[in-house]
Amino acid sequence: MFPEKLLHFIWQTRRFDTYNLQDSEGNTVRIINVGTLNANQGPDFLNAKVEISGIIFTGDVELHIDSGEWYRHGHHNDEKYNAVILHVCYTSNSAKIMRKDMSICPEIVLEKRITTNLLSHYAMLQAEKTLIPCEKLFPAVAKDFHTKQWIESLGVGRIGEKAQKMELRLKALTQDWEQVAWENLLVYMCGTVNAVAAQRLGEVLPFSVLKKYADNPLKMQALLFGVSGLLQVAENDVFVQDLTTEWTYLQAKHSLSCSEIPFSYLRMRAANFPDIRLAQVAAMVQKYPQLTQLLEIGEIVHFIDADFLPSEYWQTHYRLGKDSVKKNKPLGQTQKELLLINLLAPLGFLYRNVHGREDASEWVIHLLSILHIEKNSLTHIFMDLGFEPENALHSQGLIACKRNYCDERKCLSCGIGNRLLK
């Protein structure tokens, strides 16, 4: 047998045969409105409307797999269920459904009105141990217009979820947009491994202090590496000595302290070392001392084309005090697009919503539609099954679909699973 939530889905989406529908007494039944799913205690659907033998009733609907559950659950003794105008069940034991006020509640039985395909498809989705439940069925709808629409809506929704997290921080900082942008910039530049350390760096080194020296890369790097504690590991390097001198002065001037959370280099490519990432951050702030400039589409185009090249020292270093082969190390295109997706898209979405602009969703759609798809293990799952993502909006939607629906086996709530249950 299947769970009651599937019966709720079948009722809500009318996935049953309504031709010549009759209740257990042989009265004709017409469903006008299935009602609203009730997430609280009481009948399953509220404010439904049905016509029985030509008379229209407005009230609640209760659903059970087996009609006997009405009595096992004690609904016949509960006044809340006196307003139930229709009892819907999959199978019936033929017993009349009595309300507490001793009136008879009409009942319809759906056992012969639901297709076996729907039930078997649901059983398959729940039983599959593959990475996505609908792996065997998905190719049939992979190129479907409705699938694309669903994925795009999830992409916008994922950006909205990130914006909500930023909004919490914005409220804590009394609407300091640049500080929120600053902290998130550091987090996404330094990556998952160093996210906590980067967040703390942003808190200890306020952007209002750093941007005072936007025209002086040496002072900016002294602040970044001084607060992060990275200057202590390479004291014999001339550049580090210069940074240390600057840091000693700036630390006293602005009453700054070092972050207590160290950065990690564990299993990390040299291009992702925190040292070179912070040097690139300094190059970005030099070009954008007002980070909120980046919340306009026109400026974002310039951001994509910009080099963000760190100072000369970094041509021969990935870490402070450790030489490397000479090479320019501008911020890569992929990293810039990740910043646009994870930082500027949600921050811009939030900015527009807070300021009452109605183009927030359209702005996100436009921004992500000009960015390349993110190719990772999650997006490849759907690509291998035939979905063809065109841009970052699609890849964000695929990630949301996998994490919020597939991993949770929420096929009944998923737009794709909904279409496959026919």
**Per-residue pLDDT tens over the stretch 124-173:** 898 888 899 999 999 999 999 999 999 999 999 999 999 999 999 999 99
What residue type is 351 in one-letter code? Y
* Below-50 pLDDT ranges, the chain: none
DSSP element (H, E) containing 417? helix 415-420
pLDDT computed for residue 422 by the predictor: 76
Count of Cβ atoms closer than 10 Å to residue 115 Cβ: 14
pLDDT computed for residue 235 by the predictor: 67
pLDDT computed for residue 298 by the predictor: 82
CB proximity list for 343: less than 8 A, separation 6 or greater: 181, 184, 185, 188
Taking the CA of residue 336 as centre, how many other CA atoms within 13 Å lie in the half-sphere pointing to its CB?
22
pLDDT computed for residue 287 by the predictor: 94
pLDDT computed for residue 1 by the predictor: 77
Task: Report the chain's mean pLDDT, rounded to a whole number.
Answer: 94
Burial of 172 (0-12, 13-18, 19+ CB in 10 A): exposed
pLDDT computed for residue 361 by the predictor: 93
The beta-strand segments (E) located in 103-212 are 104-105, 107-109
DSSP 22: B
pLDDT digits (tens, 9 = 90+) for 305-362: 898 999 999 999 999 999 999 999 999 999 999 999 999 999 999 999 999 888 899 9
* CA 99 vs CA 70, 80, 104, 105, 268: distances in Å: 10, 10, 6, 7, 67
CA–CA gap between residue 347 and residue 114 (Å, rounded): 46
DSSP 258: -
What's the distance, CA 192 to chain centroid?
17
pLDDT computed for residue 234 by the predictor: 65
